[in-house]
Amino acid sequence: MFSLQLFSANPNPFLRPKPYPKSKRTHVSSVLQWNRKPELAGETPRVVVITSGKGGVGKTTTTANVGLSLARLGFSVVAIDADVGLRNLDLLLGLESRVNYTVVEVLNGDCRLDQALVRDKRWSNFELLCISKPRSKLPIGFGGKALVWLVDALKAREGGSPDFIIIDCPAGIDAGFITAITPANEAVLVTTPDITSLRDADRVTGLLECDGIRDIKMIVNRVRTDMIKGEDMMSVLDVQEMLGLALLGVIPEDSEVIRSTNRGYPLVLNNPPTLAGLAFEQAAWRLVEQDSMKAVMAEEEPKKRGFFSFFGG
């Protein structure tokens, strides 16, 4: 058994219970406050790009789960799949059969923007927008300016501007990456605790800052406590020290991710919830309030008298 203590970076963002007397001191302190709606910080719509540089670290999974978590918290969300060649966000959301029009058809004048938006039947305040269909050719002029026009059109639509516009960025740092980050004013960097991901994440952080995006937070994905304990995996504290970014969330390794992907049913909709699903919900909560978390030490059983780094809330 391990006892985890979770702390928020903001001084007093959560309603805490009255502390126990010293004679009844407990090792567990819950900080997430589920009996209230989080307070939306910043100007809306919040345009957030989810990126990493390296492929396969969980960008699309993060986009699907954080996006639906925001919708479940009561905020209107438009998720844009900006990966032109390898579109997958619709599969993870189970909406692939309903994507009839894309941004390409909108730009060509074949349909209206509202026709290209796919509304999730489970949560009507969540909508998906795909840039193009697989194997289709983009217009020659499509790039960052076209995506900025698209975001501006979402802001000005008759139904009202969404609270969040989340852009699922393609892997790499080529033209697709530049296009995806152009309209964003904040970024979520997804990484895993391995040296290849961290090198790419560090490079992407520099590119985001050069593009004027200063609000950058990271999500550390696929964390395994057993490997951290055996010193076979870097701890979240190590990752945070290497990248120097505010920590938005820590997602534990979870075999349910593969099942949910194949079913087109995001983790956050599972009942009962999984650990990874709860971690995504916590990350979405912090994103709303522009909060962050701190990696702390988790104490092992007293008889072992050891410490290892894991994560905080």
66-81 pLDDT tens trace? 999 999 999 999 999 9
Angle at 244 between CA 82 and CA 69, to 5 degrees: 45
| 22 located within any domain | no
If pLDDT is split at 50, 70 and 90, which confidence band does 13 have? very low
Query: How far apart (Å, rounded) are the C-alpha atoms in residues 243 and 53?
Result: 14
- Mean pLDDT, the chain, rounded, equals 84
Closest to 289 (Cα-Cα) out of 235, 228, 233, 246: 246
Q: How many domains does the chain have?
A: 1
Asked if residue 300 is part of any domain, the answer here is yes
Half-sphere exposure of 216 (CA within 13 A, CB side): 23
25, part of any domain: no
Q: Is residue 300 within a helix (H) or strand (E), and if so which, with residue range?
A: none
Residue 10 lies in a domain: no
The model's pTM: 0.83
Half-sphere exposure of residue 244, counting CA atoms within 13 Å on the CB side?
Answer: 6
List pLDDT tens digits, range 122-140.
Answer: 999 999 999 987 766 666 5
Residues 212-240 pLDDT 10s = 999 999 999 999 999 999 999 999 999 99
Q: Give 239-291 pLDDT, tens digit per residue.
A: 999 999 999 999 999 999 999 999 999 999 999 989 999 999 999 999 999 99
Residue 4 lies in a domain: no
Range of the domain at 104: 46-309
Phi, psi (degrees; rounded to nearest 5) at 262: -65, -25
List the structure tokens of 163.
């609270």
User: Bridge-partner residues for 215, per DSSP?
Assistant: 186
CB–CB of 222/266 below 8 Å?
Answer: no
Domain-located, residue 32? no
Q: What is the pLDDT of residues 164-211, one digit of tens each?
A: 999 999 999 999 999 999 999 999 999 999 999 999 999 999 999 999
Distance (Å, whole) CA 96 – CA 42 = 32
Residue 37 resides in a domain: no
Residue 180: the pLDDT is 95
Question: Residue 225: which CATH number?
Answer: 3.40.50.300
Share of the chain above pLDDT 70, in %: 81
pLDDT tens sequence across 15-33: 333 343 333 333 333 345 5
| SS3 of the chain: helix, strand, coil, percent, to 5 | 35, 20, 50
Q: Are 112 and 106 in contact (CB under 8 A)?
A: yes
Answer whether residue 121 is part of any domain: yes
Contacts of 80 (CB under 8 A, 6+ apart): 129, 130, 131, 147, 150, 165, 166, 167, 168
Sign of CA dihedral 279, 92, 38, 205: positive
- 190 within 8 A of 178, measured Cβ to Cβ: no
Q: What is the pLDDT of residue 159?
A: 83
Cα separation, 103 vs 113, whole angstroms: 8
